[in-house]
Amino acid sequence: MRITHTITFLLLGAALVGVGSLALRAGAEPERTPAQRHAESVRQLVCAQPFTLDEAATHYYRAEQPRYDAGWLIVLDVDPAFVVARQTEEPVLYAGAQTLERVNHGSESGRVVCILPSPRGADGQPSLDLAAHIFFFGPEALPERIDALEAQHQLARAARSGTRPFTPDEVAAARACGGEALRVRSRDELDQLAGVLVLEHAPEDVDVGNGMLAPRVPGAAPATKPTAPRVK
C-alpha cells in the first residue's frame, strides 16, 4: 500500500548543485556507447513555463507520490527512440533527481510535453532552476516505482556519462518560448494548457491533445470525435 506524503524538493535540488557541470555532452562519434546515447537523448529545452496550482496535485511518477503545487510546463526535444510507446518498461525521463511526467509520447516528432514538479520559492514561484539540472533518460523502469534513492542513483549515473545541463542561454530561450508564469486553479486547467502544447508541438499525438481538451462536464454534448487539432 502506498503512502502519499509531501517530498522536500529543496533537499533534492541541493543534491544537484555542481553536478551538471561535470562533463560536456558527447560529440558526434560514429559509434556511440549506450551511455553516450542516453547523454544525448534530451536534445533541447524548447519551451518552459513556470506554473503554480491553487489545488495541489499528485506526482504519480514517483513511488512516494508527492504532492506539488508548482512546477514547470516544459516542451523537450528528445531522441524519438527513447519515447516509443510500449507496454513493457520505458526509459524514465529525469530532471536532476526528479522524474518528469510525460504528457505525450512524441515518438515521431521527438517533442515531449512534460510537467516537472517543483517546490515554491520565497516568491511563491517554482524554485527549481532549470539551468542547474541535467535532463536525461534513465534506464527502463516504471516511473511509479522510482523512489528518491533510485532517482539519486540515476542522477549520479547520468552525470558520470557526461550529460550536461542546458546553458542559461538555452533556458532563457525556452523561457521566452514558454511565456509568463501561470497561475491555474487545478491540475485539470494545467492539463488543458498541456493539451494545447501537445497539438502545437507533437501533431502525431493529436488524439492525446484533443482528448485533454475534451469539453468539460457539464458542457458535454453529443458529438463525433474531432479529426483535426482543435488548436494550432
Partner 1 sequence: MKIAPFCAAVLIATAAPHATAQTTPAGPNAPAARGIAGLVHEEIAGRPLARFPHFDFVQSYYAGLSIEAAVDTDRHPALVGQTADVYLCAHRDEAGWAASPVLVDVRGAFQTITFASGGVQANLLTLDNGLGSLSGDVGAGLGRALDVVIDIDRDARISTGDWVDGAGSTPGLWLLAPTTAPGPLTPVEVLYSGGSFLGQDLYYPSNIATMGELPLVVVSHGNGHNYQWYDHIGLHLASYGYVVMSHQNNTVPGTETASTTTLTNTDYLLGNLATIAGGVLDGHVDRHHITWMGHSRGGEGVARAYDRMFDGQYTPVNFTLADIVLVSSIAPTDFQGNANTNPHGVPYHLWTGGADSDVNGCASCNLCQTFHLHERATGARSSISLHGVGHGAFHAGSGGLFASGPCLLTRTETHAIMKAYLLPLVEWHVKGNPAGREALWRQWESFQSPGVPTTSCTTVDLMHRGTAAQRAVIDDFETNPALDLSSSGGAVIWDVQNPGQGRLDDVNSAFTTSPSEPMNGMTFSGSVADATSGMVFEWTGVDRSIVFELVPELTDVSAWRWLSLRACQVTRSTLTTSQLGDLDFSVRLRDVNGVVSDIAIGAYGGGLEEPYQRTGCGTGAGWANEWETIRIPLADFTRGAAALDLSQLSSVEMRFGPSAGDAQGRIGLDDVEFARD
Residues making contact with partner 1 (CB under 8 A): 1-2, 57, 60-61, 85-88, 90, 101-102, 105, 107, 142-145, 186-188, 190-191, 204, 207-208, 210-212, 214-225
Which residue number, 37 or 187, has a Cβ lying nearer to partner 1? 187
Closest distance of CB 15 from partner 1, Å:
23
What span, in angstroms and rounded, lies between the C-alpha atoms of 71 and 181?
10
Closest distance of CB 166 from partner 1, Å:
23
Tell the residue number behind the cell numbers 509520447, with chain if given. 105
Which residue number, 59 or 164, has a Cβ lying nearer to partner 1? 59
Which residue number, 173 or 193, has a Cβ lying nearer to partner 1? 193
Tell the residue number behind the cell numbers 533541447, with chain if given. 44
Which residue number, 105 or 164, has a Cβ lying nearer to partner 1? 105
**Cα 202–chain centre separation:** 15
What span, in angstroms and rounded, lies between the C-alpha atoms of 10 and 7?
9
What are the C-alpha distances in Å from 148 to residues 105, 119, 211, 230?
Answer: 24, 15, 32, 39
Closest distance of CB 80 from partner 1, Å:
13
**143 close to 92: Cβ distance less than 8 angstroms:** yes
Which residue number, 91 or 162, has a Cβ lying nearer to partner 1? 91
- Beta-bridged to residue 111, according to DSSP, are 77
Which residue number, 144 or 170, has a Cβ lying nearer to partner 1? 144
Nearest C-alpha neighbor of 162 from the set 34, 15, 2: 34
Closest distance of CB 106 from partner 1, Å:
11
- Taking only Cα atoms into account, the Rg of the chain, rounded to an integer number of angstroms, comes to 17
Closest distance of CB 25 from partner 1, Å:
26
Closest distance of CB 141 from partner 1, Å:
9
**201 close to 165: Cβ distance less than 8 angstroms:** no
Element (H, E) at 210: helix 206-212
